[in-house]
Every structure is written in structure tokens, then in C-alpha cells.
Amino acid sequence: MNINVSIALATPEDAAGIANVISEAAYDLTAKHGHGHWSAIASAKGVLNGMSKAKVLVAKNGAEVIGSLRLTSSRPWVIDPAYFTPVPRPVYLVDMAVRPGYQRIGVGRALIEEAKKMAAALAGDSLRLDAYEGVAGACGFYEKCGFTEMGHILYKTVPHVYFEWLIVR
């Protein structure tokens, strides 16, 4: 596959493409692993709402949206700060998705590397996230991207793993 990936801050015009990527990734995980918390689909309206409260990065191949993630200073409900390094300004990575046909070719890693730069630029002290544990999760991916496993929890019967990347200045 010949691709030319560019990563930038998302604009409102990207919302429908981002919602499609998130939904396609959810359909793919559901087809592979059955219905679960990963099965939720997204809407352009929901993506726009997320953009109003956070920084959203978008990966594109030409004009096609192929991946995205959201960075926020608001702690997601599933994150328990007790598991993480005490820092004054954590940044949280949420809603990461890569279009299934573009997975395992570096798109996700490129998004993560840009997210690390942006978290540092936002004066963050750490980048935190949670991932599903098991076959539907991406724990190995986050470890390969330099994140440290911080703990395991059970949230609404679903095993999660916490990950952190400390920002060194």
C-alpha cells in the first residue's frame, strides 16, 4: 500500500471522517471479538463536541481521514489517578482509532508521536491512557510506543490497563 500520511489538528470539516474511522474500527473489533465496550459507534456531532473540549489530531492519506485521537486535560471517568505518577498537569489520550485498512503500517505510531509532542507543548507532565486488556485491546501497541504499564483495573466487568508516558523537559 502506497500512502502519504500527514498529521495535523483536526478541523470541524474533519468531524464526519473521524466519526467514520471510529465507527469502522468499532465494527471491525466487534466482528473479530464480539460485542463489547469497543462496539460503540461515533457521530460527527459527538466528534465536534469532543473537539470543543480538547485537541484532536487527525491522520490523513491525502484527503482521506485514516486515524485520529483526542488529547484532553479533563480526566476520563475510567482513569483512577492513584495508579499514576503524581504530576500537576497530566494530559489524557482518548478516542484513538485507525481505519482498519490502515492498521499495522505506522499510522497509529505516527499519531502517538505527534500526541507526545503536543502534550509537551500543552505544558503537560505526563500522557495517560487506558486500554482494553485482552484480544480487543492495544496494550502491546502502547508498550511499543514507549508507554509504561501502571496498573490493571476492572471497570464495569471489562479489564483495563493503565499506561503513562512521562514528559521529560
Q: Which CATH class is domain 5-166?
A: alpha beta
Q: For residue range 153-162, what is the model confidence (pLDDT) as tens digits? A: 988 888 899 9
Is it the case that residue 136 has pLDDT exceeding 70?
Answer: no
Tens digit of each residue's pLDDT (9 = 90 or more) over 142-152 = 999 999 999 99
pLDDT digits (tens, 9 = 90+) for 85-110: 999 999 999 999 999 999 999 999 99
Q: For position 133, what pLDDT does the model report?
A: 87
Residue 129: pLDDT above 70?
yes
pLDDT at 138 over 70: yes
pLDDT at 158: 82
Q: Output 136 or 145, whichever has higher pLDDT.
A: 145
Phi and psi at residue 164, to the nearest 5°: -145, 145
User: In the predicted model, what is the mean pLDDT of the chain?
Assistant: 93
Which H or E run includes 69? Answer: strand 64-72
Question: What does the pLDDT look like over 35-82, one tens digit per residue?
Answer: 887 888 999 999 999 999 899 999 999 999 999 999 999 999 899 999
